[in-house]
Amino acid sequence: MMDCTDRHCRYLMRLITRRALLYTEMVTSAAIVRGADPKRFLALDQSEHPVALQLGGSDPAQLATAARMAEDFGYDEVNLNVGCPSDRVTSGRFGACLMAEPQLVADCVRAMQDAVSVPVTVKTRIGIDDMDSEQHLDDFVGTVADAGCALFIIHARKAWLQGLSPKENREIPPLHYDRVHRLKRRFPALGIVLNGGLKTLPAALAALTDADGTQLDGAMLGRAPYDSPYMLADVDRTFFGDLAVPLPRAAVVDAYLDYAMPLIAAGARRHLVLRHLVGLFHGCAGARAWRQAVTRIGQEGGDPRSLETVAQRLGESRVLAA
């Protein structure tokens, strides 16, 4: 998620779930291929695996180069964004507006898939503007699948490219999970992953199967885990049957600070590194005090290690309250 996630965020998420596949925010192929410092966009910590890089772009050759660089850096998957509705993205001819150009998306996917051995996947919507019929989505998915894409993440609402802001486009057009299930029925051999409005893991799990028994291949969650990362502590058990006990929140804080302190000492902006901890106690007694402590230490200074004491205290008070 642009302006939210980064490699620090993924490090934190990975302390909480070992199995969930993590996606980067969208990075344009131009920034990677033509920018002065591709490492800035591509560097990753080994602990982030499995991790996918999401690319934005519509130039097949440039996307292929960016995908190859991503594979060289160690990404496990390369995903093409065909869902972002922002003006800036649309004027650059990438993101959701590409739903109107299935053949171009197919050319991009083919070029990328020819350049790498990791999977190339596509994240898209159920439609854009008046191009929102089931037939159009079928044609789009069929054309892109023929070019070598075997997995689609579907944000189950259309986007209005004129008149709605990106934020409104994540809230106003209604969600249609039924359309994603019907897509899966028509393309049973493709991986189809559901995205949009999934706020809890039980809700995500339930949404994967419809009344006819059609089973989707996965759920992608965006805002909910960003706001409340510890909800991911149940992912390994719920979705992967992995019964390993997740780290308690206070241990997550300790481990994250072990990672963050050397970065801060080396000059990383402490606010940018610490901000991902803000939601860690979301929904717990003391969440507000925690948010304030993280924000204060991030912005005003003070010893980040003091957060360990706060986290310990909150962890203990949860036990007392249980």
Ligand X SMILES: Cc1cc2nc3c(=O)[nH]c(=O)nc-3n(C[C@H](O)[C@H](O)[C@H](O)COP(=O)(O)O)c2cc1C
Q: Which residues bind ligand X (CB under 6 A)?
A: 1-4, 25-26, 54, 81, 83-84, 123, 155, 170, 195-198, 221-224
- As a whole number of angstroms, the distance between CA 101 and CA 300 comes to 48
Cβ within 8 Å of residue 195, ≥6 positions away: 123, 153, 154, 155, 156, 219, 220, 221, 222
Q: Examine the residue annotation and report whether 84 is marked as an active-site residue of this protein.
A: yes
Q: How far is the CB of 137 from ligand X (least distance, A)?
A: 16
Of residues 62 and 195, the one with the C-beta less far from ligand X: 195
**How many helices and strands (H and E) does the chain possess?**
15, 7
Residue 122: its H or E element: strand 120-125
Q: Which residue of this chain has its Cβ atom nearest to ligand X in the complex? A: 222
Burial label for 19, CB within 10 Å (0-12, 13-18, 19+), is middle
Q: Are strands 51-56 and 77-82 parallel, antiparallel or unpaired?
A: parallel
Q: Which amino acid is at 311?
A: A
Of residues 114 and 129, the one with the C-beta less far from ligand X: 129
Is 195 within 8 Å of 220 (Cβ atoms)?
Answer: yes
Of residues 5 and 253, the one with the C-beta less far from ligand X: 5
Of residues 2 and 104, the one with the C-beta less far from ligand X: 2
Q: How far is the CB of 321 from ligand X (least distance, A)?
A: 29
Cβ within 8 Å of residue 105, ≥6 positions away: 58, 80, 82, 98, 99, 122, 140, 143, 144, 147
Q: How far is the CB of 277 from ligand X (least distance, A)?
A: 18
Of residues 232 and 253, the one with the C-beta less far from ligand X: 232
Of residues 65 and 121, the one with the C-beta less far from ligand X: 121
Cβ within 8 Å of residue 300, ≥6 positions away: none
Q: How far is the CB of 255 from ligand X (least distance, A)?
A: 26
Interhelix angle 102-115/60-73, rounded to 10 degrees, is 40
Q: How far is the CB of 3 from ligand X (least distance, A)?
A: 5
> Which of 84, 97, 108, 149 is flagged as catalytic?
84
Is 137 within 8 Å of 179 (Cβ atoms)?
Answer: yes
Q: How far is the CB of 280 from ligand X (least distance, A)?
A: 18
Give the active site residues: 84
